[in-house]
Copies of this chain bind each other. A is one copy, B any other.
Amino acid sequence: MGTHTVAVVGATGVVGRTVVRILEERRFPVKRLRLSATARSAGKTVPFCGDLVKVEETTADVLRGADFAFFAAGKEASTRFAWEAAASGTVVIDKSSAFRMDPRVPLVIPEINGHALAQHQGVISTPNCSTIVMLMALWPLHRAARVRRAVVATYQSVSGAGDAAVDALRRETDALAGRADLLEGGATTEAVEVVSGTAKPIAFNVLFQWKFEEDGATDEEQKMIAETEKIAGEPIAIAPTTVRVPVVVGHGMSISAEFEHDLSPEEAREVLARFPGVEVWDDPKKDHYPTPLLTAGRDPVYVGRIRRDPTVACGLHLWAVGDNLRKGAALNAVQIAEALIGSAGTAPRPAGVVESKVSW
Which A residues are closer than 8 A to B by beta carbons?
149, 151, 153, 155, 159, 170, 173-174, 177, 180, 182-189, 192, 199-201, 204-208, 212, 215-217, 237-239, 241, 243, 245-250, 252, 254, 256, 265, 284-285, 287, 289, 291-294, 296-298, 305-309, 311-312, 315, 317, 319, 323, 325-326, 352-354
Residues A239 and B315 in contact, CB atoms below 8 Å apart: yes
CB distance from A355 to the nearest CB of B (A): 10
CB distance from A152 to the nearest CB of B (A): 9
Question: How many identical chains are in the complex?
Answer: 2
Nearest residue, chain B, Cβ from A181: B297
From B246, B296, B308, give the contact of A187 (CB < 8 A): B296
From B149, B206, B308, give the contact of A312 (CB < 8 A): B149
CB distance from A42 to the nearest CB of B (A): 24
From B184, B212, B247, give the contact of A248 (CB < 8 A): B184
Could you list 14 examples of A-B contacts with CB < 8 Å?
A: A155-B245, A170-B177, A177-B177, A182-B293, A183-B293, A185-B250, A186-B296, A200-B291, A204-B247, A204-B248, A237-B312, A241-B317, A245-B246, A246-B247
- List chain B residues, Cβ under 8 A from A312: 149, 237, 239
Residues B325 and A185 in contact, CB atoms below 8 Å apart: yes
The CA of A307 and the CA of B225, in the complex, are separated in Å by 15
Residues B307 and A217 in contact, CB atoms below 8 Å apart: yes
A151, A174, A177, A249 — most chain B CB neighbours (10 Å) = A151
Residues B243 and A294 in contact, CB atoms below 8 Å apart: no
